[in-house]
């Protein structure tokens, strides 16, 4: 989706992927096959481009720093990525900027777990500092008996972990911010996200909460992206508590699933604004083109090909924008595509998107 946005603006896109047959192959002029954990591969990519950017936060920031040292323009910067990709550092930066986060604590060894349980109470969360996503790398410690299981599940002897006090939330909010090198920002509408087994399932745009809450969420998200000197499109995930109190759950230094709806629903999508931001161009408007929008993820139901059953039924539903990612294979809960719909309100948009999404099935058919 980033490639498509860049191509529309006349850019040439080179991509580094570990697979010669990756879905992005159809949206780039040059596909380099290699590992983003290899400095050599990254250097090869850097040699092909004017600006290097990321679509995930898993590239080691030290490698990015090495590229910057050789003169490559990397946006977001290695420093931003360093502070976001280590979730403990991320929490510290947010806390240092007086931004609300659930109480957290580094965990250097197993022996500290019990004391944390006493201090935070149960349940509390055990999290990997790096490489977690969609709930992977998190463990909910429900009682003292879970402590050993949690430590083993996340391999605490090998991985840096930290603990987080459970924040009882009613809803999850998210917001995309695109920020330029000069510090200009564009904030997209606050959306409500509904997860299914820790994976983003539904996005409602805009979120249907009082204006004061939406304004507070937007203000926090703007401050958060500034705290990391973020350049490009950044996702900010938040929890909304029962008293309307908001904490920041997690930052994503990249385009984000909660912003896919912006392709059809906003004047300038999160993808185009990411490209504009990293190229130093003026940002586009995040204004919505409809009163309501909704996005439903298409998740694999089981093992199978990447091509769904039901395409004719789904495309027969007027106003549903079907996106299929062209992945080679489906597996349980793998993101295989998404559907966006617009409407005169969020509910109507969601109905349309769900009808199309329900018509499509990946794997186990």
Interaction site with a copy of itself (CB under 8 A): 3-4, 7-13, 25-29, 267, 276, 281-282, 284-285, 287, 289-290, 306-307, 311-312, 315-316, 318-319, 322-326, 337, 342
| Nearer to a copy of itself among residue 147 and residue 311 (C-beta) | 311
CB of 17 to a copy of itself, least distance (A): 13
| Nearer to a copy of itself among residue 54 and residue 324 (C-beta) | 324
Q: CA-to-CA distance for 68 and 83, rounded, in angstroms?
A: 16
CA-closest candidate to residue 175, choices 189, 160, 158: 189
Measuring CA to CA, how many Å separate 73 from each of 31, 44, 54, 67, 130? 19, 14, 12, 8, 24
Q: Which residues contact 153 (CB under 8 A, 6 or more apart)?
A: 139
Evaluate whether 288 touches 204 at the Cβ level (below 8 Å).
no
| Nearer to a copy of itself among residue 13 and residue 176 (C-beta) | 13
CB of 267 to a copy of itself, least distance (A): 6
CB of 72 to a copy of itself, least distance (A): 21
SS3 state at 61 = helix
CB of 225 to a copy of itself, least distance (A): 21
CB of 307 to a copy of itself, least distance (A): 7
Q: CA-to-CA distance for 94 and 224, rounded, in angstroms?
A: 7
CB of 282 to a copy of itself, least distance (A): 4
| Nearer to a copy of itself among residue 22 and residue 93 (C-beta) | 22
| Nearer to a copy of itself among residue 29 and residue 38 (C-beta) | 29
| Nearer to a copy of itself among residue 52 and residue 342 (C-beta) | 342
- 3-state SS, one letter per residue, for 277-340: HHHCCCCCCCCECCCEEEEEEEECCCCEECCCECHHHHHCCCCEEEEECCCCEECCCCEEEEEE
Q: CA-to-CA distance for 198 and 54, rounded, in angstroms?
A: 23
| Nearer to a copy of itself among residue 48 and residue 223 (C-beta) | 48
CB of 50 to a copy of itself, least distance (A): 12
């Amino acid at each position: 989706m980033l490639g498509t946005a860049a191509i529309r603006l006349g850019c040439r896109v080179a991509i580094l992927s570990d697979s010669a047959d990756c879905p992005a192959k159809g949206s780039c002029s040059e596909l380099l096959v290699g590992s983003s954990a290899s400095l050599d591969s990254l250097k090869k990519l850097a040699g092909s481009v004017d600006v290097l950017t990321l679509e995930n936060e898993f590239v080691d920031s030290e490698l990015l720093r090495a590229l910057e040292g050789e003169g490559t323009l990397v946006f977001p910067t290695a420093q931003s990525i360093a502070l976001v990709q280590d979730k403990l550092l991320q929490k510290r930066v947010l806390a240092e900027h007086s931004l609300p986060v659930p109480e957290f604590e580094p965990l250097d060894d197993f022996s500290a777990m019990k004391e944390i349980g006493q201090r935070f109470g149960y349940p509390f969360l055990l999290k990997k500092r790096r490489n977690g996503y969609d709930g992977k790398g998190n463990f909910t410690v429900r009682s003292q008996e879970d402590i050993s299981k949690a430590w083993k599940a996340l391999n605490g002897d090998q991985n840096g972990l930290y603990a987080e006090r459970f924040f009882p939330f009613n809803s999850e909010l998210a917001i995309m911010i695109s920020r330029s090198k000069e510090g200009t920002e564009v904030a997209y509408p606050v959306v409500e996200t509904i997860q299914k087994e820790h994976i983003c399932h539904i996005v409602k745009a805009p979120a249907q909460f009082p204006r004061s809450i939406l304004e507070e969420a937007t203000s926090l998200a703007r401050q958060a992206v500034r705290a990391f000197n973020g350049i490009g499109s950044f996702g900010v995930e938040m929890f909304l508590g029962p008293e309307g109190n908001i904490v920041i759950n997690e930052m994503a230094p990249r385009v984000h699933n909660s912003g896919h709806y912006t392709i059809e629903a906003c004047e300038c999508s999160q993808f185009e604004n990411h490209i504009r931001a990293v190229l130093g161009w003026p940002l586009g408007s995040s204004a919505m083109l409809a009163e309501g929008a909704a996005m439903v993820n298409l998740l694999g139901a089981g093992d199978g090909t990447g091509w769904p059953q039901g395409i004719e039924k789904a495309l027969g539903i007027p106003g549903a924008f079907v996106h299929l990612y062209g992945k080679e294979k489906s597996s349980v809960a793998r993101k295989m595509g998404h559907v966006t719909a617009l409407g005169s309100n969020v509910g109507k948009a969601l109905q349309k998107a769900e009808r199309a999404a329900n018509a499509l099935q990946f794997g186990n058919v």
